[in-house]
Amino acid sequence: MIANYNPADYWKHVNVPALIVEAGNDERVQVEPLVTAIQTALREAHNPDYTIVVFPNAPHTLVERSKTGEPFRWPHITPGYADLLAFLGFVPGISARAFGGRMSNVARRTD
């Protein structure tokens, strides 16, 4: 939750397939309580068709940069995020449904 905005209030009204992508190292919100709140809201909406993907080392923008004290490296998209977009059909001709339907309700990258 940021200030008085609670996204779970809106997820209670979602009853269509949903993909939620979260940054595990988000500097603005704590991801674990947020994921729990979203899962609870979707269950209250009787929505079983959702997937939550958490990229554990990703910042809020899903663009990684050198940290203070590390050698310089160019900003880059969080590993796995572009693959997820391609898998979901943001690349022409590829669709998640073509790969056998939905993924597990919470997928966590380990790299």
Extents of the domains making up the chain: 8-108
pTM, two decimals, is: 0.70
* Angle (nearest 5°) at CA 21 between 10 and 82: 145
Q: Is the pLDDT of residue 5 over 90?
A: no
- Tokens representing 107 are 């997928």
Q: Element (H or E) spanning 42, and its range?
A: helix 31-44
Give buried/exposed letters for 50-69 (b at 16+ CB in 10 A, else e). Answer: bbbbbbeebbeebebeeeee
Q: Which residue has the higher pLDDT, 53 or 102?
A: 53
* pLDDT given for residue 101 in this prediction: 43
The mean pLDDT value for 17-34 works out to: 91
Q: Which residue has 């990703």 as its token pair?
A: 58
Q: Is the pLDDT of residue 109 over 50?
A: no
Least confident of 4-13, 54-63, 80-89, 96-105: 96-105
Given a contact cutoff of 8 angstroms between Cβ atoms, the answer to whether 81 and 21 are in contact is yes
* pLDDT given for residue 110 in this prediction: 45
Least confident of 35-39, 43-47, 48-52, 94-98: 94-98
Helix/strand/coil for 64? strand
